[in-house]
Amino acid sequence: LKERIRTVAKDLHIPKNEIPSRLKEIAQAFFMRNLDPAVEGWAQGAPVDWDEETGLGNAYFVYAYATHIAQVEVDLTTGEASVEDFVAVHDSGRIVNHQLASGQVEGGIAQGLGFALMEEIPEKDGHLMTTGFTTYRIPTIRDIAADTKVAFVEALYSAGPFGAKGLGEVPLMASHTAVSRAVAHALGAAVNTYPLSPERVKGSVA
């Protein structure tokens, strides 16, 4: 694909250093010339040493890591829990696009907060009680800590694209755990049922 782009750019008299800023023009030329802009490929991951019977070994050939810390405030009178501060640090290998990666983490934090504190699908006689956003609560921007901090530790993975690892679901898994454990710490009691609604929080301290 790189060679095709360079060939079209040369035909359009576009210098190499201007190619990134003129990709739209090059893409239009691809379309007009009926050139295929797609590239296909595949890669085989490294072998894993995993025993399904014992559950021992390495299930994956690479791991992405994260540490999430949530500071919460719990109103023991109402049972309301709110996230006041949040810090997320991820090792996802090389971060190719920091803005997109930060957005992915921030979105995962919001999802995790919803999972931990409010999202629930109750049913009655086999019928869902949540039929829209008026009955199915999800986080809004007002529920996210205003000073949420996201940082990355770029430990490169040699077999990943440009040294990258995965980032997809890691923020969700780490954030709901951080929030729920922070609530449990504030209450001084174990909380094992999601979401940690005001009713459940009040019940745990009654």
Q: Quote the CA–CA distance of 196 and 203 in Å, as a whole number.
A: 10
Which residue in the list 18, 119, 169, 199 is annotated as catalytic? 169
Please choose, from the candidates 11, 14, 33, the residue with its C-alpha nearest in 3D space to the C-alpha of residue 23: 14
Q: What CA–CA distance (Å, rounded) separates 106 from 165?
A: 18
**Would residue 80 show up in a list of annotated catalytic residues for this protein?**
no
Closest CA to 83 of 145, 27, 129, 28: 145
String of b and e for 154-166 (b: at least 16 CB within 10 Å)?
eeebeebeeebbe
Query: The tokens of 118 are what?
Result: 């409010």
Tokens standing for 105? 């983490």
The gap from C-alpha 138 to its chain's centroid, in whole angstroms, comes to: 16
Burial of 171 (0-12, 13-18, 19+ CB in 10 A): buried
User: How does DSSP classify residue 60?
Assistant: S
Residues with a known catalytic role: 169
